Amino acid sequence: MDWIMVVQVLDSTLRLATPLLFACLAGLISERAGVFDIGLEGKMLAAAFMAAAIAYATGNVWLGVASAIVASVGISLLHGVAAITFRGNQLISGVAINFLAAGLTVVIAQNWFSQGGRTPSLSGGGRMPRLDLPFADALRDVPVLGPIYSGILSGHALLVYIAFLCVPATWFLLFRTRFGLRLRAVGENPAAVDTAGISVVGLRYGAVAIGGVLCGLAGAYLSTGLSAGFVQEMTAGRGFIALAAMIFAKWRPWHAMGAVLLFGFLEAVANRFQSIEILGVGLPVQAMQALPYILTVVILAGFVGKAIPPRAVGTPYVKEH
């Protein structure tokens, strides 16, 4: 593998890791507050459709992004009503959201655009523009630094940079603010938080809403930045991969970034190399494409050591009188 190919793979890694990172942080914040969120996939899918549909209708990608956030937050609050207010089974609520989004996006897309459940291709102002970092052109020919700065770090959509900035922001929110302390306490011992006069329901709704914003950004990037429109089931299991990355990271933001970069790298390698030989035996294309999903199974099977979730995750809180 030559240097140019390495740069191309790492460049693709950042792009492919972006929606995973948004979704992983969304699940991390939600579960830190005690709300299990298996509906990441459905929220991303709904957001991807809304972003593409509104961006195509208006020709403005940022209106599409805003619509994606509204759609995702709305679905998140629906999950909150079922899981927090009515104390329903959080797993069932999340699965229902995934099924609902998978069906409704196709039906509405067919009704609006009559293109087999997809949106028309985006172009011009409907696509997310690429941003060149300062001095990217001037440094392009500088050995080592040029390919890294100009070829890997520069030239991405704005949401790529926002995604990676969300990592320190999430860490600061959770571990350096009063809100973050209360959020983590709600995920560990909600009764103690309630005894202190702090609203458990309010904190959990806040965490779910923040997760909705992040899933909205993930879906918007999928359909307007990574692709040029919405297609059926375009999330392709990324919500579940994000959950696996969150477990791999043991609910820690910086480790989550490393986990999604690993998944993004495997997907980039699979996309770049349609076949590869190991010990003289050629692996089929399908084996390469399955790499990220195989890693997901390995992680969920427990090969990364013991991952202990917040103690109250998935448990509805019943206020004692």
Residue 215 has pLDDT above 80, yes or no: yes
Query: The tokens 């997809």 sit on which residue?
Result: 118
CA distances from 145 to 12, 92, 152, 210 (A): 18, 49, 10, 36
pLDDT of residue 92: 93
Residue 218 has pLDDT above 70, yes or no: yes
Percent of the chain's residues with pLDDT above 90: 65
pLDDT band for position 294 (cuts 50, 70, 90): confident
Q: How high is the mean pLDDT of the chain?
A: 89
- Asked if 49 and 113 count as a contact pair (C-beta separation under 8 A), the reply is no
Average pLDDT over residues 88-117: 93
Query: The tokens 């043991």 sit on which residue?
Result: 250
Where do the domains of the chain lie?
3-300
Residue 282 has pLDDT above 90, yes or no: no
pLDDT of residue 304: 58
Which pTM value belongs to this model? 0.93
List b or e across 68-85, with b for residues whose CB sees 16 or more CB atoms inside 10 angstroms.
Answer: bbbbbbbbbbbbbebbbe
Rounded Cα distance, 321 and 318, in Å: 9
pLDDT of residue 280: 53
Q: What's the token pair of residue 166?
A: 């969300």
pLDDT of residue 1: 52
Q: For the domain made up of 3-300, give the CATH fold.
A: ABC transporter involved in vitamin B12 uptake, BtuC (1.10.3470)
Rounded Cα distance, 228 and 118, in Å: 11
Residue 317 has pLDDT above 70, yes or no: yes
Rounded Cα distance, 294 and 301, in Å: 11
Mean pLDDT lowest for which of 29-38, 51-60, 127-136, 263-272? 263-272
- Asked if 223 and 72 count as a contact pair (C-beta separation under 8 A), the reply is no
Residue 62 has pLDDT above 90, yes or no: yes
Residue 144 has pLDDT above 90, yes or no: no
User: What is the end-to-end Cα distance of the chain in Å, rounded?
Assistant: 66
What confidence tens digit (pLDDT) does each residue in 174-204 have?
999 999 999 999 999 999 999 989 999 999 9
- Asked if 42 and 100 count as a contact pair (C-beta separation under 8 A), the reply is yes
Angle at 233 between CA 230 and CA 238, to 5 degrees: 105
Q: What's the token pair of residue 175?
A: 């571990």
pLDDT of residue 41: 96
Torsions phi, psi for 294 (to 5 deg): -60, -45
- Nearest Cα to Cα of residue 10 among 271, 285, 283: 271
- Asked if 127 and 158 count as a contact pair (C-beta separation under 8 A), the reply is no
pLDDT of residue 279: 47
Percent of the chain's residues with pLDDT above 70: 91
Residue 61 has pLDDT above 60, yes or no: yes
